[in-house]
């Protein structure tokens, strides 16, 4: 998928039923307008969204450089 860079899945140590999925995109636009507008996105949703309960919160972050 254009703009996709990598992903990591982390399992919480304290709450073993919680996970963190970190997906790295080159921009918010690649995720929001590229991936979510891709015709196969609806099929992807259909295959995966039943695994989520509750549905995950999606937020976007950027790197911080400390001087």
> What does the pLDDT look like over 43-58, one tens digit per residue?
988 898 888 888 888 9
Q: Residue 26's pLDDT is what?
A: 96
Rg (CA), the chain: 14
> What does the pLDDT look like over 14-40, one tens digit per residue?
999 888 999 999 999 999 999 988 888
Mind giving me the DSSP string for 12-37?
-SSSTT-EEEEEEES-HHIIIIIITT
pLDDT band, residue 10 (cuts 50/70/90):
very high
Token duo for residue 20: 């963190």
């Amino acid at each position: 998928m254009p703009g996709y860079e990598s992903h990591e899945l982390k399992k919480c140590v304290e709450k073993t039923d919680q996970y963190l999925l970190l997906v790295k995109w080159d921009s918010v636009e690649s995720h929001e307008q590229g991936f979510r507008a891709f015709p196969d996105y609806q099929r992807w949703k259909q295959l995966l969204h039943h695994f989520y309960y509750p549905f995950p919160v999606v937020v976007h972050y950027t790197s911080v450089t400390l001087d």
